[in-house]
Amino acid sequence: MAKIKEKINSRGDYSNVKHRTIFHDLLDNRSLPEGDKSVKRFSQESQLLLVAGTVTTATALASAIVYLLLDEKRLQVLLEELEAAVS
């Protein structure tokens, strides 16, 4: 938390950064109340993004693998497609 705060405070003018992130756009958004642009809020949002993006994807992949292992025919089709794509 302290590290994030330090990073944000030391950033200064970020209008020309090479790699803009969702947080730069949030900071620049005029319709977003200033109270919603705090380090605490951004830290919470980044945790939410991380969880929303990882648990969902992991569950989708795990489910797909289970169904594929139960379905020899479709598993074979997928393996052939992967083989063709990487060779």
Q: Which is nearer to ligand HEM, 76 or 78 (CB)?
A: 78
Scanning 2-10, 13-21, 47-55, 77-85 for contacts with ligand HEM by CB under 6 A, the matching segment is 47-55
Interface with ligand HEM, residue 58, by CB under 6 A: no
Of 29, 38, 47, 56, the one binding ligand HEM (CB under 6 A) is: 56
Interface with ligand HEM, residue 53, by CB under 6 A: yes
Tell me, letter by letter, the H, E, C secondary structure of the chain: CHHHHHHHHHHCCCCCCCCCCHHHHHHHCCCCCHHHHCHHHHHHHHHHHHHHHHHHHHHHHHHHHHHHHCCHHHHHHHHHHHHHHHC
